[in-house]
Structure 1
């Protein structure tokens, strides 16, 4: 909608004033000539009209409303640009109950640029909006895909620390979920590859010593002490076999991260057996067990718990001096059992406490290294405990020695 231009309204009002003057002077011929002239000049329709109200019922209509604004639109109103036909304009006379009526001449119709505007509104603006929307959607979709593509390329080139989700901001859509899945995959695969590399590197290093001793024994086999060298070869072969088997078990636990839930286990019975075996193996140390009458845990596994607890107890006995005591406390605490294994050894330097559960880690200066100690015992123990949802940690005691804490859920 748009207003008629001021100069066009003024011209319409001039025609209305001329028609009113001719009507007041009762000069109908000149009035007719004026209307014909306007119609011919503007190629439109013009008239002077009035009406008389005939009351049918009720009160008589007020004189002020008779003959005003009943035939067409006021020149002060807006014109609907999208109507095909021009409207009838009404200019009421001031002194007579009649109006000058004219179909709005085409030259006075507002909206000279309506055709162009309509094309813009119906074609170009919607097209521009669609293009802008397409660009926004394209960037919204392609940006995370490009991030994912770059991350995948970087990952394939060996950058296992690459992550995607942190670059997507606060988005919460399928791409975010895909990025989170990729990050989990990258983290898991990167961890596996890193562990395998470290394991292979450490294994190759650890194998050098027994293989060297084996070579020496073989080379010296024919010289003298045949029985001694046979025993040496047998011992080194057993050590290599044990090292390889433990390494394979560790790799399986690291790669698969199994959660073993098979049976109910009475920790008291299990620990009693392990303690008795350890006492037999280390008769020159004192091994004290404090435990309740029973401690049943559900959905666990003897095969996972037994070697883990046994490794930790043997480790404590190995580094406890002859004649000293290793204490094993089994405590029930809410929905979990806690096993504390306290030794009287030299302890562990504080900076190494978090590393003793890593494969092939040994603190030679703090703990006396033995030929059959490859640093896999505690690492295997931790992996076995993780497989039954248990946790293990180590701390130095204030009085000396190391305390290893095992936390096992009851169900």
Structure 2
């Protein structure tokens, strides 16, 4: 789902808002409901007034009752009436018995009192005869809801504030928790911990922040790989430069002492050219590693290119046989001429270097579904299976007839272990892939380097 975080936040806010209003309404209704009843103590007082009025009426008479009522009215600042209601029916109509039984002139003490009415209600307490009724306007001191203003402030300000704070806290935790982890991972990465990753703790989420963490991890992978590769490249380059520099120093000493000057000058020229090639290859490799360039592609006849490369290789390695197997018709692909040429030359030259004199290196080209396959098969000793991927690493070389990766000093310019590493970067920059495998035929040894290049037939 796109915008998953948006929908999460929308859900939290929407549900939180609904709960917010429902909770406020529930609390307000419950609070007002509980505040709308006359206190039990006040109910007892009102019943006591009615009981006393009934006693005075039947024992002392109406004159005494009038004096008592006047005193209670002044005391409570209200009015009181003792009534026997009579109902006159018109048009030969009658009230039902149920209505007469429940008839009252005022409110029962058990009823709720409306908190927002301006005037206090009249309370109705019947005497024992069921006819005479004690009526009193509820004294102000007995009216429920005395703290209504304070309760309203709490319900309208304090409770919404607390609920909104809770919703905000939930949103903050939901958003900031992964951001803090990302911040921590970024800080550790900036301090040199290149193995730290941010998405490890976010496996249960699947939203924009998870994708942000995944993007950070990809960036961290690339940067850490670049840094490690650059460090390794510098270390390897410094190691590889020691031998030619030593030879240069020896040749310079020979020239200064006029010892074998001609041979020393040739050695100076060779080592200088050798170092120049090494540095150029190392810089090109560093450029491919750091920039990940997108090469400009043009139409290119791959069959003609392979023909030219094979002719050059046959000329350079005259004591070897270079065989080219490819279709007779031209095959046009979108590629970068310089990068593809350099990659193919390095791969073919590497095969020729590891093939004994008199043996054959076979280059074949054929088309598969959506790509071209170029295979370079030599007749060398092959490569131990565990090193088939390592041969594409810079400065990685294996001594022939050996099972370890001991470094050797080659007398040839291309013996520094950069050819296949450069070829891999160049092929990848062209959108292709490259891998190596040993010859599976038991009757012969050798290595097959396979290149796949994207291709759309017209």
TM-score by length of 1: 0.83
1:376 aligns with 2:418: yes
Q: CA deviation at 1:140?
A: 5.4
Stretch moving more, 245-254 or 261-270: 261-270
Structure 2: gaps of 5 or more residues = 1-32, 403-407
1:393 aligns with 2:428: no
Q: In the aligned structure 2, how far is the partner of 1:265 from the partner of 1:54?
A: 115
Q: 1:97 to 1:291 in 2, by over 3 A?
A: farther
Q: In the aligned structure 2, how far is the partner of 1:293 from the partner of 1:90?
A: 117
Among 105, 114, 121, the alignment partner of 2:139 is 105
- What residue number does 1:217 align with? 251
Q: In the aligned structure 1, how far is the partner of 2:452 from the partner of 2:88?
A: 103
1:198 aligns with 2:232: yes
**1:79-98 matches, cutoff 5 A:** 79-81=113-115, 85-91=119-125
The answer on whether the counterparts of 2:57 and 2:64 sit within 8 Å (CA) in structure 1 is no
- What residue number does 1:64 align with? 98
- What residue number does 1:9 align with? 43
* Alignment RMSD: 3.7
Q: In the aligned structure 1, how far is the partner of 2:432 from the partner of 2:115?
A: 80
Q: Structure 1, residues 123-167: CA drift from partner, whole Å, max 9, x if none? A: 544454455556556655665555454444433332233333434
Would you say how many aligned residue pairs link Structure 1 and Structure 2? 410
Among 146, 161, 176, the alignment partner of 2:195 is 161
The answer on whether the counterparts of 1:51 and 1:66 sit within 8 Å (CA) in structure 2 is no
- What residue number does 1:407 align with? 452
Stretch moving more, 111-120 or 251-260: 111-120
TM-score by length of 2: 0.76
Q: Structure 1, residues 79-107: CA drift from partner, whole Å, max 9, x if none? A: 44565654333446676567543333344
Q: CA deviation at 1:192?
A: 2.2
Larger relative helix fraction: 2
Among 313, 323, 333, the alignment partner of 1:278 is 313
Among 297, 302, 312, the alignment partner of 1:262 is 297
Q: In the aligned structure 1, how far is the partner of 2:119 from the partner of 2:373?
A: 94
Q: In the aligned structure 2, how far is the partner of 1:252 from the partner of 1:279?
A: 30
Q: CA deviation at 1:254?
A: 0.8
